Amino acid sequence: MREKKRILIADDEDSIRRSLADILRDEGYIVVLARDGHETMEKIAIKPPDLVFLDIWMPGMDGMEVLKEIKAEWPDVQVVIISGHGNIETAVKATKLGAYDYIEKPLSLEGVLLTTRRALQEDDIYKSEHKKMPLKKKSKNIGGTKSGMVDRKGRRDVPGSSIPQRTIKKSIVLGGQGLHSGMQTGLILSPLPPDSGIIFTELSSEEMVPAHLDYVCSTDYSTTIKSGHTSIMTIEHLMAVLHIYKITNLLIKTGSEIPIFDGSATRFCQMIEDAGVEEQDGLIEEITIDNFYLIGDVNGRHISIGHSDNLIIQYSMDCPPPIGKQEIRFVFDSTEIFKEEIAPARTYGFVKDYGKLEAMGLAKGGRLSNLILVDDERVINTSLRFADEFARHKVLDTLGDLYLLGKPIKGEVYARMTGHTENITLLRKIAECEKN
């Protein structure tokens, strides 16, 4: 019989300790209680637990001090920070100090149990909690059928091929600012077991939002997903990087918006590489586009996708100066080429649009350092990284939106003067054909 896991609850509020203890004991865990930081350290020294729920604000010795000492003396003990007065900066600091996760009060039953099971790596139980969530559909080619087999000895994949599922090796955190909300925000990325999917959640809520087309609620200047009362803005740059690295299982905790950083995807690439990529048991079948799909007018604004043995995106734009005519054709055949040629391309905005954006409650975080700012004559705040940086950034956005089909994709995309709205409309057309 497997030994019961031991959990220590450290909180100066009697009601919190009792409630958490009742929940965890009902699930079969051994629970130990502590009222302050000094008592916490004493009880850990007697017998280190498997997991600690640690309040930040406690008398005598606050939670951050306790966290530092726990990770210095017992690095294998998992620590989940709980707080009723925290924010994204607190969450980022705690995670950098070694906390496994950060959850806000009032605590939800489902949130506590999911966090506990992830921290204790009880994957089978975790996955059973997610059977109700439509994260994955049965694998199939889109628009037709093609025979194919997986070849994992270095030869190229064929249409319909399966690849190993992937997550990251360790949790990682970054802080930043939202472009549209203007709020300080951040990211905590954590591994998930196979067949979990990519899931977003806010720090202040345990409500989960799958990174899937079905949850897209807005495409106004960025892609936003929503479930219940929880919505996450500006996910496209991060999703593009997850697409390229073929990360299929990941928990993303954030504020209401993904940080913009410098307006490109470079920091997200570095974040994934710092965390490390881990192949998992279980395969996922890539989506292979076999038919031709078109949104818009081929002689004007449009986006289409057709068959290819790779992912290819060709984007063209014809704008007044200083942007002018730009066109790029990019074949995604390695993460290195993506990091060099597409990831550094920054988002851009027009001075003339700022009044409209302000009226919509957007672009509150726009700074000279996190986007390319364009007036009627020139780029006014930076030097371009590429002559065609605007078109390259559109490729980045398109790549991120495509991953909302839920799997890596193979197909050849042609787009002209399009944005998030057309991207999502195309995906909905593909998904509708898949159902039929």
pLDDT at 241 over 60: yes
- pLDDT value at position 321? 87
For Cα atoms 234, 240, 242, give the angle at the middle one, nearest 5 degrees.
110
Q: Which long-range contacts (CB under 8 A, 24 or more apart) does 127-132 make?
A: 127/193, 127/194, 127/195, 127/196, 130/196, 130/197
Tokens for 300, please give them. 């004007």
User: CA of 375: how far to CAs of 43, 262, 348, 357, in Å?
Assistant: 63, 19, 11, 15
- pLDDT value at position 129? 41
- pLDDT value at position 58? 86
Catalytic residue among 180, 243, 393, 420: 420
pLDDT at 265 over 90: yes
Pick left, alpha or beta for residue 304 (phi over 0 → left; psi -120 to 50 → alpha; otherwise beta): beta
Cα separation, 371 vs 393, whole angstroms: 11
| Residue 312 parent element (H or E) | strand 311-318
- pLDDT value at position 333? 86
Average pLDDT over residues 124-134: 43
DSSP state of 172: E
- pLDDT value at position 287? 93
Q: Which amino acid is at 431?
A: A
- pLDDT value at position 123? 56
**Percent of the chain at pLDDT exceeding 70:** 83
Clarify whether 420 is annotated catalytic.
yes
Based on DSSP, count helices (H) and strands (E) in the chain, helices before strands.
12, 23
Cα separation, 378 vs 127, whole angstroms: 52
Q: How many CA atoms lie within 13 A of 186 on its CB side?
A: 18
List strand residue ranges (DSSP E) for 20-161, in order. Answer: 30-34, 51-55, 78-83, 101-104
Q: What is the pTM of this model?
A: 0.75
Q: How many CA atoms lie within 13 A of 47 on its CB side?
A: 9
Neighbouring C-beta atoms of residue 211, cutoff 10 Å: 24
User: CA of 40: how far to CAs of 1, 24, 277, 304, in Å?
Assistant: 29, 18, 35, 59
Neighbouring C-beta atoms of residue 355, cutoff 10 Å: 9
pLDDT at 99 over 60: yes
pLDDT-derived band at 355 (thresholds 50, 70, 90) equals low
Higher pLDDT, 60 or 316: 316
Domain architecture of the chain: domains with CATH: 6-129 (3.40.50.2300), 162-285 (3.30.230.20), 288-435 (3.30.1700.10)
Query: Prior bond to 259 cis, omega within 30?
Result: no
Q: Which residues, including other chains, have CB under 8 Å from residue 317's CB and lie 6 or more apart?
A: 323, 325, 326, 327, 390, 391, 394, 416, 417
Q: Which amino acid is at 79?
A: V
Q: Which long-range contacts (CB under 8 A, 24 or more apart) does 114-117 make?
A: 114/206, 115/80, 116/7, 116/24, 116/27, 116/29, 116/51, 116/80
Cα separation, 7 vs 49, whole angstroms: 6
Cα separation, 168 vs 416, whole angstroms: 35
